[in-house]
Amino acid sequence: MSRWEPDARGRLARAALDLYSERGYDQVTVAEIAERAGLTERTFFRHFTDKREVLSYGAAVLEEQLIRGVDEAPAGTGPLDMVGCALEAAADTVFGTDVTFAVRRQAVVKASPELLERELIKMAMFAAALAGALRRRGVADPAASLAAEAGIAVFKVAYQRWADEASQQPLREVIRACLAELKTVTGAG
Amino acid sequence: MSRWEPDARGRLARAALDLYSERGYDQVTVAEIAERAGLTERTFFRHFTDKREVLSYGAAVLEEQLIRGVDEAPAGTGPLDMVGCALEAAADTVFGTDVTFAVRRQAVVKASPELLERELIKMAMFAAALAGALRRRGVADPAASLAAEAGIAVFKVAYQRWADEASQQPLREVIRACLAELKTVTGAG
């Protein structure tokens, strides 16, 4: 955002995660996060609205990438596979690069009902964004909503699994495996 | 709960929904809900912890029914179809009987970020409960989590669709149609 604070968002997010891990989300103030990051509170609030928001770092970018992933999926791709393309593309950039961050992030989120709520809201927003992108690609409802919601289900399960196992696999591959598993589960019976 | 307040929970839920529809969720107090229902505030708090909880009326019962539905699904049923059995069974009892209530409920929930949050939390709880039930039926992870999350995706889309259309169809049939559609969506591509 400003040249003299390189990667302020990332530094604040990492500082917040460190402090939440050490002391629990409820016990940490914005002032402490800023201090740990070597930045001011004013800088914090230029990047985030509150201390709950700080772990959603990257959510807006992720949402854009998901939409673009559906926009750019090859013609003739089925609805769920369009979502799969979007999830895999997104996994390569924002979320899927640092499993250590993911492991600690999931532990902190699980321990705080407030963060868990925020997480669920973000996931619902991603599902709505994906459904909208599918509709623009000509997928009718309820197929668009179902593919979007099922895709987010895959993402949630894959991301949690990736973090649970502190997996050496790239997130993209865990997503692909979970998508294949969903197809099996759906076909069985 | 007590003989001289027949269906107090239901009366409070309907009174709350009336008031939320008329004036918006934020503008309504517990005292007003109790008054509209012809009951006391004390009775309100015997049934609900707060005014947000009152629209989740039936959630605990629904969760039990979902679990029982999976427990009782015929042997040899695939994971997603076990969840489908559970959703259809639940639809016949708690949620699926009064589309007019559902239409008004969804409108109120959509208008309130607070209620929407609560809704997402309940759905996450249902998914966790279903995944647990599937594991007890011998379904391994990630299949259990994926089938549970995908099932909840079906339920969300079906319930919304049922309310959107103020459908004359029973909820059970909308759920069945959405489950079939998810299978199509999953297979395509």
pLDDT of residue A97: 73
The three-point CA angle A55-B112-A30 to 5° equals 25
**Cross-chain residue pair A142–B161, CB shorter than 8 Å:** yes
By the 8 A CB rule, do B131 and B144 touch? yes
pLDDT of residue B1: 46
A63 within domain boundaries = yes
Same domain flag for A87 and A17: no
pLDDT of residue A33: 96
Long-range contacts from A164-170, C-beta under 8 angstroms, 24+ separation: A164/A106, A166/A99, A166/A100, A166/A103, A167/A99, A168/A99, A170/A91, A170/A92, A170/A96
What are the residues whose beta carbons fall under 8 Å from the beta carbon of A116, sequence distance 6 or more? Answer: A109, A110, B121, B124
Surface-to-core class of residue B3, CB atoms within 10 Å of its CB (0-12 exposed, 13-18 middle, 19+ buried): exposed
Which candidate, A144, A136, A124, places its Cα nearest to that of A83? A144
- Domain CATH for A163: 1.10.357.10
**Cross-chain residue pair B124–A121, CB shorter than 8 Å:** no
Residuewise pLDDT in 10s, chain A (189 residues):
444 567 898 899 899 999 999 999 999 999 999 999 999 999 999 999 999 888 887 788 889 999 999 999 999 999 999 999 999 988 887 666 778 888 888 999 999 988 998 899 999 999 999 999 999 999 999 999 999 999 999 999 999 999 888 778 889 999 999 999 999 988 744
pLDDT of residue A94: 60
The secondary structure of A26-94 as a DSSP string is GG--HHHHHHHHT--HHHHHHH-SSTTGGGGTTHHHHHHHHHHHHHTSPTT--HHHHHHHHHHHHIIII
ipTM value? 0.86
pLDDT of residue B108: 92
Question: Structure tokens of B173?
Answer: 């049939």
Most B CBs within 10 A among A145, A152, A171, hence the mutation to make, goes to: A145
**Cross-chain residue pair A124–B124, CB shorter than 8 Å:** no
By the 8 A CB rule, do B120 and A124 touch? yes
Same domain flag for A90 and A138: yes
**Cross-chain residue pair B146–A185, CB shorter than 8 Å:** yes
Q: What is the pTM of this model?
A: 0.88
Same domain flag for A31 and A110: no
| Domain-terminating residue out of A38, A54, A70 | A54
* Min distance A166 CA to chain B CA atoms (Å): 16
A141 within domain boundaries = yes
Question: Structure tokens of A161?
Answer: 């699994």
Cα nearest neighbour of B155 on chain A:
A146
Same domain flag for B91 and B128: yes
CB neighbours of residue A1 within 10 Å: 10
Segment B12-71, tens digit of pLDDT: 989 999 999 999 999 999 999 999 999 999 999 999 999 988 888 778 888 999 999 999
B1 within domain boundaries = no
Dist CA B171 CA B162 (whole Å): 6
By the 8 A CB rule, do A80 and A144 touch? no
Same domain flag for A38 and A65: no
Q: Torsion-angle region of residue A98: left (phi > 0), alpha (psi -120 to 50) or beta?
A: beta
pLDDT of residue B5: 66
Same domain flag for A75 and A36: no
Cα nearest neighbour of A188 on chain B:
B78
Segment B118-146, tens digit of pLDDT: 899 999 999 999 999 999 999 999 999 99
Q: Is the pLDDT of residue B4 over 70?
A: no
pLDDT of residue A168: 80
**Cross-chain residue pair B188–A149, CB shorter than 8 Å:** no
pLDDT of residue B3: 47
**Cross-chain residue pair A142–B189, CB shorter than 8 Å:** no
**Cross-chain residue pair A146–B157, CB shorter than 8 Å:** yes
Same domain flag for B176 and B97: yes
Find the mean pLDDT for residues B98-102: 84
- Domain CATH for A20: 1.10.10.60
Distance of alpha carbon B149 from the chain centroid: 14
Provide the pLDDT confidence category of residue B168 given band limits of 50, 70 and 90: confident
All residues of chain A having their beta carbon less than 8 Å from the beta carbon of residue B149 are 150, 153-154, 156-157
A3 within domain boundaries = no
Cα nearest neighbour of B81 on chain A:
A189
Chain B residues 5-34 with CB within 8 Å of chain A: none
Boundaries of domain holding B177: 58-187
Chain A residues 130-189 with CB within 8 Å of chain B: 141-143, 145-147, 149-150, 152-154, 156-158, 160-161, 178, 181-189
All residues of chain B having their beta carbon less than 8 Å from the beta carbon of residue A52 are none
Same domain flag for B132 and B146: yes
Handedness of CA B16, B18, B24, B27 (dihedral sign): negative
Domain count, chain A: 2
